[in-house]
Structure 1
């Protein structure tokens, strides 16, 4: 592990500090170039934008720029270490936007005293960008922040820890249930964890057909039920009218377990209580709620996903967030709505059911991948993700009325 630590630190510090930089898109070699780039030539696009703000998309990089914004209160699995400590993560997110979707991205770490301060700061700079990706903000503040910014901003605002996780989880879950011969409408679902990702995952599963009354959510105090008086408004949405109180109570005969909580919280004995052909998404990182070897040792009829790249079926947000923003920005969407999220779910699902290109097999280091228990979610390096998800999202934006321009001709053809 110390070797990996040294590799990681060297990667971030050499040959120059950090993971992103600015590149020029126009020549700046001659006096004429500089006259056009700055004074006096720059006055002309200024006048055009002042006359019509939409011209900012024509004359500046706004339409291809995403801000990755955080307050550092929930950094990966490390917790509240503050804005500055989160900068390597935010730069990493910017790297992923560029690598996978060709989107320019800049990280912004915000110090603030109150939630309202953070909201005001982001809202006041929002017009600089084509979209805003919120990241690593703790619950429940993240819900309030996203809701307020969606209302105040005319560009897409997307909290990836909520919705990116939910989209990939929903795509994999629907495929896993299909392989197991089960339906989302009938599935009994146990969700261990009640933070931002948990709430978003369950809400999206409901939009995909799950029944709210079939969902049992647990926090550190156990099952979230109607007789508890310590629930915030987001947990209250999942308060079940039940006498069940423990994980063992609710997991008996359950079809699905979703873990967005912490390591080693699901025992093999708990797993044995589940219904036939269970689906387990143990997404705590870096250590899942149950070790895959232990899980498969307890059940041979299991489909399992984790958040790790060294096991099959990785639930990885990079499968969706770059491509969702690509599609949203390309039609100048004012928001990323439910229709766009569900379109992304369906696009991801469909890719996993198709023959896998040889280049993906090579990058994944395997000889064969086909739709089934060991392959319910596409691999992040699959080149089909960008055109398919971006187009599905862009079409959904147009059809749902949040796009400000039509789909470009031959888009992602």
Structure 2
């Protein structure tokens, strides 16, 4: 290919003139200056020579970078494209439209500037090293669409190495909003979380985080399933993170399949995709909750779920009770950045979930979480997070 000459586009199987493609034409983000550049005096202040003293002051005291650069309001949205939405491993270029979309949400809901960074996939240590080298430019790192189990080690190692918030939204954003929904489902039905029998279908990023946060919130009986059935200590095919689940969940030591786990279950949380047959749903306890969050095709269709459940939630925007991460991550980062760029603790996640739940003044079966565009959500989450940052 000759430098400066672009390759011709290949014939696409998609309608590149359709409305979705028109909405993405040219990308969805841009860089804007926050200070005016009107004349040579402005130039001398914003660039050389005025910038020199600012640079030297920051070199002398690195904490000043939060005050005199955009770093304290800028988050890197980092992906390697290995687990994009429900599309799977489509690579960094395929992931870019999602990361740009995430940046739009950060800005719209919390005023946080976010920069999409899509990296070629590599080993855990290679990705950690790459993000660590980029980190001085940012006030926080939002990990996105990275496959399990690698995502667990990547997040943990970055949290150990960096002094800024690192947050894998596919894990914790999902868990926070799901917990908010569970809190209000219990309020509507006058139940206690400690009395619930919960089944989490899916032991990937979201399933692990949902399980851990539910446990912290007081749920005592959680059974987790994967594609091979119930996770329990007797299984010999478990990778490390599933061994941890086997040691901390399933107190009744159930064995078998998802169908076995669902018998008399009070709550189903679907974060794995696939379909649950009606005959299995029908074995759940009376007045159960069904959170079928696969998108666009829930594990249990809402129309079917309503035949058996008192509360139904999905990941879709065209049904009530959408469990949408956008209720959490903008405010989570806003609060962490406002608190000085602190790491995001388990207490902060619990506080965020409770804040989201409390925004629904009068919960009812079709309103257990706020609508995505309800005003004040990010602000309330940010305040709750900042209050628990000490």
Structure-1-length-normalised TM-score: 0.88
* Corresponding residue for residue 404 of structure 1: none
Q: CA deviation at 1:249?
A: 1.2
Q: CA deviation at 1:394?
A: 0.6
Equivalent residues in 2 for 1:14-413 (5 A)?
17-211=26-220, 214-239=221-246, 240=250, 242-263=253-274, 265-296=275-306, 298-299=307-308, 301-352=309-360, 354=361, 370-398=362-390
In structure 2, C-alpha distance between the alignment counterparts of 1:328 and 1:206, rounded to whole Å: 23
Q: CA deviation at 1:341?
A: 0.7
In structure 1, C-alpha distance between the alignment counterparts of 2:244 and 2:276, rounded to whole Å: 24
- Residue by residue over 1:344-376, the C-alpha shift from the partner in whole angstroms, topping out at 9 and shown as x without a partner, is 011011111x1xxxxxxxxxxxxxxx5210100
Give every structure 1 segment of 4 or more consecutive aligned residues whose post-TM-superposition deviation is greater than 4 Å: 2-5
In structure 1, C-alpha distance between the alignment counterparts of 2:363 and 2:193, rounded to whole Å: 18
Q: How many residues align?
A: 373
| CA contact 1:177–1:279 (8 Å) conserved in 2 | no
- Residue by residue over 1:239-288, the C-alpha shift from the partner in whole angstroms, topping out at 9 and shown as x without a partner, is 2463530122111111000000113x212211111111100100011100
Q: CA deviation at 1:196?
A: 0.3
Q: CA deviation at 1:33?
A: 1.1
Q: What SS does structure 2 have at the residue aligned with 1:42? A: helix
Task: Tell me: CA distance 1:22–1:51, structure 2 relative to 1, closer, same or farther (3 Å).
Answer: same
| CA contact 2:144–2:168 (8 Å) conserved in 1 | yes
Q: CA deviation at 1:11?
A: 0.7
In structure 2, C-alpha distance between the alignment counterparts of 1:231 and 1:5, rounded to whole Å: 46
| CA contact 2:187–2:363 (8 Å) conserved in 1 | no
Q: What SS does structure 1 have at the residue aligned with 2:213? A: helix
Q: What SS does structure 1 have at the residue aligned with 2:194? A: coil
* Corresponding residue for residue 8 of structure 1: 20
In structure 2, C-alpha distance between the alignment counterparts of 1:336 and 1:154, rounded to whole Å: 11
| CA contact 2:180–2:369 (8 Å) conserved in 1 | yes
Gap runs ≥5 in structure 2: 1-13
Structure-2-length-normalised TM-score: 0.93
Q: CA deviation at 1:112?
A: 3.9
The RMSD of aligned alpha carbons is 1.4
Task: Tell me: CA distance 1:5–1:285, structure 2 relative to 1, closer, same or farther (3 Å).
Answer: farther
